[in-house]
């Protein structure tokens, strides 16, 4: 795989059981690139390993006044230099290729998992965690994958230098061979503490990132309530904690680097001192001493890769564990992987939507409203109705469409049949035309969807803020997450995007919570008219929406307890009335039968609306 061949046609199915297994899977997927990198690394480091002996041979030729030997040493030096230069250039090229391709594979896997889980992802993993995994962790994983081949080549070079020196100058080679393992293993006792400090820094940085993104997302609200300084102070504290953790981590890695400089320096001093004694006693030639000194000096370079591979693994192991945790998530409720083959047959159009967990039934082709007193329960119910529940629980049933379990369908088939819009939909930057350019049946025009969602004022606002020359609101640009729009405007644009797709089943979670009552009533009429004959489920507690529904279901404490029209339930079920009217038990008991209570007053308001 070359960089020009990216992205991968299929990044594969990762082994996400643990961080080390995931790293091993990545390495096995790049055996060709690792082999090329290792081959060029061996060429480069063989030149490095041969350099001390060529230098020693040249010194011996000068001492012995051997012109032929000096010429031979010069030729070998040119050959060794060429091997080092070519090998180093190609090693860098292949190693960087391995780094980028590994990082690209992980990013593709994360993007695929994000698309598979949708909004359920951030309910299982914090948004800051997802951001950190897809940025910093990806780079650390790629770093370790590319460092493996360079480390293996360096280890071969160190071994070759030690063995060669034992044969070339045994008296001094023993000292070098005994000292090198100490140098290579000296940092191992320091690595666990350095890794813990690096993990702490990374965790604090992820929390600070999440706090910053949440603050920016709610900036308009914070300004409205004067809470900017409060959140600014919290972020300042979080950033200072990140700085302190980074300084502590850097101190530990600085100590490791100091050890890597101190011990080789001590070995070099010992070799020179002992070698000088041997030369004085006539037991070692001057050329052999120069070769031993050059060998120790040359080994400082490959030995540095021992420290790098230790650092790379220390950083990449927790990063790989976090990436594996995200990649191991599935859209099934019991945590098992979605089968790759043998999916259930796609249900025929016109089937009822049924949730066995609550007993909720949404008849095909009708507008069903669901009232839940618990907003979290409503969110989980919406996800379950879409076929990708977010909470685990062995044996938990899946929502059924036409008798077919949604989580047994292929993902693309399930999403083509059922669309879920949660209470906090996201608008991406781009033009309004691009926003509404989504996979759709083609039966609903963009203009009709915008009209049903009451987006007239939104179109006018976009056109007013558009640059000169833009005459069509569809070509006006929406800022990232639609931050230039109000909450109600963003909500209505998201609703229009959902309506234009025209799915078999549309599930809306509080689609009008940010709009005024008059707009809400018109939106309710628009949804009912545009979705006539199509299955629509709206989770809401607004009487204006509930009164337009064909059927209303009360879900209380996780079970569907009552169903009927809004007016029937309002007059006949006190639990339903308590949720819709926000009536307390004391207010229900104190209501005078001879006067109009909250239910009757609410009915009069609905009729006037």
Q: For position 188, which CATH number holds?
A: 1.20.1560.10
Q: From CA 268, how far away is CA 265, in angstroms rounded?
A: 5
Q: With cut-offs at 50, 70 and 90, classify the pLDDT of residue 560.
A: very high
Q: Poorest-confidence range of 426-440, 543-557, 575-589?
A: 575-589
CA–CA distance from 19 to each of 109, 205, 240, 606 (Å)? Answer: 15, 20, 30, 58
Which token pair is 376? Answer: 């979290």
Position 48 in a domain: yes
Question: pLDDT above 90 covers what percent of the chain?
Answer: 20
The answer to whether the beta carbons of residues 539 and 367 sit under 8 Å apart is no
Report how far Cα 102 is from the mean position of its chain's Cα atoms: 15
* Domains of the chain: total: 2
Place of tokens 């029209």: 565
Position 243 in a domain: yes
pLDDT of residue 331: 60
Q: Poorest-confidence range of 268-272, 344-348, 456-460, 600-604?
A: 600-604
Q: Tell me the chain's radius of gyration from C-alpha atoms.
A: 34
Residue 335: strand, helix, or coil = coil
Q: What is the pLDDT of residues 46-57, one digit of tens each?
A: 888 778 778 877
Q: With cut-offs at 50, 70 and 90, classify the pLDDT of residue 539.
A: very high
The answer to whether the beta carbons of residues 298 and 161 sit under 8 Å apart is yes
Closest CA to 56 of 168, 177, 163, 173: 168
Q: From CA 302, how far away is CA 169, in angstroms rounded?
A: 21
Per-residue HEC secondary structure of 307-324 comes to HHHHHHHHHHHHHHHHHH
Residue 397 has pLDDT above 90, yes or no: no
pLDDT of residue 339: 38
Q: What is the pLDDT of residues 479-489, one digit of tens each?
A: 777 777 888 88
Same domain, 69 and 130: yes
- Of these ranges, 343-357, 378-392, 540-554, 588-602, the one predicted with the greatest mean pLDDT is 540-554
Q: Poorest-confidence range of 98-102, 386-390, 515-519?
A: 386-390
pLDDT of residue 341: 42
Same domain, 287 and 367: no
Residue 68: strand, helix, or coil = helix
The answer to whether the beta carbons of residues 384 and 398 sit under 8 Å apart is yes
Q: Give the residue, 344 or 394, on which the prediction is more confident.
A: 344
pLDDT of residue 36: 92
The answer to whether the beta carbons of residues 222 and 344 sit under 8 Å apart is no
List the CATH number of the domain containing 361: 3.40.50.300
Query: Residues 6 or more apart from 119 whose CB is under 8 A from it?
Result: 383, 420, 422
pLDDT of residue 226: 56
Residue 328: strand, helix, or coil = coil
Position 202 in a domain: yes
CA–CA distance from 197 to each of 185, 252, 261, 310, 410 (Å)? Answer: 20, 8, 22, 15, 43
Q: Poorest-confidence range of 103-107, 198-202, 432-436?
A: 198-202
Q: From CA 474, how far away is CA 496, in angstroms rounded?
A: 13
The answer to whether the beta carbons of residues 535 and 505 sit under 8 Å apart is yes
The answer to whether the beta carbons of residues 135 and 217 sit under 8 Å apart is no
Same domain, 319 and 368: no
Bridge partners for 369 per DSSP: 538, 552
Position 270 in a domain: yes
Same domain, 78 and 219: yes
Same domain, 115 and 191: yes
Q: What is the pLDDT of residues 164-201, one digit of tens each?
A: 888 878 888 888 888 888 877 777 788 788 878 877 87
Longest dimension (CA), the chain: 126
CA–CA distance from 191 to each of 24, 107, 180, 256, 315 (Å)? Answer: 21, 28, 19, 8, 10
Bridge partners for 535 per DSSP: 505
Q: What is the mean pLDDT of the chain?
A: 81
Q: What is the pLDDT of residues 309-348, one digit of tens each?
A: 878 887 788 888 888 888 888 765 333 334 334 456 677 6
Same domain, 291 and 214: yes
Q: Poorest-confidence range of 227-241, 418-432, 462-476, 549-563?
A: 227-241
Same domain, 108 and 248: yes
pLDDT of residue 603: 45
Q: With cut-offs at 50, 70 and 90, classify the pLDDT of residue 450.
A: very high
Q: With cut-offs at 50, 70 and 90, classify the pLDDT of residue 588.
A: low
| Mean pLDDT of the 439-447 span | 89
Position 602 in a domain: no
Which token pair is 128? Answer: 């800051």
Which token pair is 438? Answer: 């989504």
Same domain, 185 and 267: yes
Same domain, 308 and 369: no
Q: From CA 509, how far away is CA 470, in angstroms rounded?
A: 34
The answer to whether the beta carbons of residues 180 and 306 sit under 8 Å apart is no
Q: From CA 598, how far away is CA 174, in angstroms rounded?
A: 96
Question: pLDDT above 70 covers what percent of the chain?
Answer: 85
Position 85 in a domain: yes
Same domain, 365 and 265: no
Bridge partners for 505 per DSSP: 418, 535
Position 94 in a domain: yes
Strands 551-556 and 367-372, how do they pair? parallel
Same domain, 308 and 373: no
Count CB-CB contacts under 10 A for residue 339. 11
The answer to whether the beta carbons of residues 116 and 331 sit under 8 Å apart is yes
Q: Among 327, 342, 370, which residue terminates a domain? A: 327
Predicted TM-score (pTM) of this structure: 0.63
Same domain, 300 and 374: no
Question: What is the domain range of residue 530?
Answer: 353-564
| Mean pLDDT of the 140-144 span | 89
User: Residue 360 phi/psi, 5° resolution?
Assistant: -70, 130
Position 409 in a domain: yes
Per-residue HEC secondary structure of 371-412 comes to EECCHHHHHHHHHHHCCCCCCCCCCCCCCEECCEEHHHCCHH
């Amino acid at each position: 795989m070359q960089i020009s061949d990216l992205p991968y046609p299929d990044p594969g199915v990762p082994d996400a059981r643990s961080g080390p297994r995931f790293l091993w899977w990545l390495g096995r997927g790049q055996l060709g690139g690792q082999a090329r990198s290792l081959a060029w690394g061996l060429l480069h480091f063989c030149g490095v390993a041969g350099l001390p002996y060529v230098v020693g041979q040249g010194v011996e030729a000068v001492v012995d006044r051997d012109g032929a030997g000096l010429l031979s040493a010069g030729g070998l030096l040119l050959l060794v230099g060429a091997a080092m230069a070519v090998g180093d250039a190609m090693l860098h090229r292949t190693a960087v290729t391995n780094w980028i391709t590994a990082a690209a594979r992980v990013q593709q896997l994360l993007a695929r998992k994000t698309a598979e889980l949708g909004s359920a992802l951030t309910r299982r993993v914090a948004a800051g965690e997802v951001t950190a995994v897809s940025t910093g962790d990806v780079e650390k994983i790629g770093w370790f994958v590319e460092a493996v081949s360079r480390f293996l080549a360096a280890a071969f070079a160190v071994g070759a230098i030690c063995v060669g020196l034992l044969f070339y100058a045994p008296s001094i080679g023993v000292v070098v061979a005994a000292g090198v393992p100490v140098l290579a293993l000296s940092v191992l006792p320091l690595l666990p503490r350095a890794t813990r400090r690096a993990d702490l820094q990374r965790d604090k940085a992820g929390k600070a990132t999440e706090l910053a993104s949440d603050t920016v997302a709610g900036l308009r609200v914070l300004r409205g309530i004067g809470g900017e300084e409060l959140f600014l102070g919290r972020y300042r504290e979080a950033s200072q904690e990140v700085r302190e953790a980074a300084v502590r981590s850097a101190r530990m890695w600085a100590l490791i680097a100091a050890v890597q400089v101190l011990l080789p320096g001590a070995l070099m001093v010992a070799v020179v001192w002992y070698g000088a004694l041997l030369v004085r006693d006539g037991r070692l030639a001057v050329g052999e001493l120069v070769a031993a000194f050059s060998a120790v000096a040359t080994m400082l370079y490959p030995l540095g890769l021992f420290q790098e591979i230790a650092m790379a693994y220390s950083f990449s192991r927790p990063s790989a564990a976090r990436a594996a945790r995200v990649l191991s998530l599935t859209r099934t409720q019991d945590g098992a992987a979605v089968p790759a083959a043998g999916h259930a047959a796609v249900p025929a159009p016109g089937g009822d939507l049924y949730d066995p967990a609550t007993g909720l039934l949404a008849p095909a082709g009708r507008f069903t409203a669901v009232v839940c007193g618990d907003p979290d329960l409503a969110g989980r119910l919406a996800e379950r109705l879409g076929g990708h529940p977010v909470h685990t629980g062995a044996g938990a049933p899946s929502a059924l469409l036409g008798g077919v379990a949604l989580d047994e369908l292929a993902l693309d088939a399930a999403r083509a049949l059922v669309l879920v819009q949660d209470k906090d939909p996201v608008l991406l930057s781009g033009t309004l035309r691009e926003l509404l350019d989504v996979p759709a049946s083609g039966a609903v025009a963009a203009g009709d969807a915008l009209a049903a969602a009451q987006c007239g004022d939104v179109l006018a606002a976009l056109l007013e803020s558009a640059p000169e020359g833009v005459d069509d609101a569809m070509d006006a640009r929406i800022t990232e997450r639609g931050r230039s729009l109000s909450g109600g405007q963003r909500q209505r644009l998201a609703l229009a995007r959902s309506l234009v797709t025209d799915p078999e089943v549309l599930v809306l979670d509080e689609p009008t919570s940010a709009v005024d009552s008059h707009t809400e009533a018109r939106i309710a009429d628009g949804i009912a008219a545009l979705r006539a004959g199509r299955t629509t489920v709206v989770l809401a507690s607004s009487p204006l929406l509930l009164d337009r529904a064909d059927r209303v279901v009360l879900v209380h404490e996780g079970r569907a307890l009552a169903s009927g029209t809004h007016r029937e339930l309002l007059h006949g079920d006190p639990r339903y009335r308590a949720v819709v009217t926000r009536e307390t038990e004391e207010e229900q008991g104190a209501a005078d039968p001879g006067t109009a209570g909250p239910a009757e007053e609410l009915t009069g308001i609905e009729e006037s609306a």
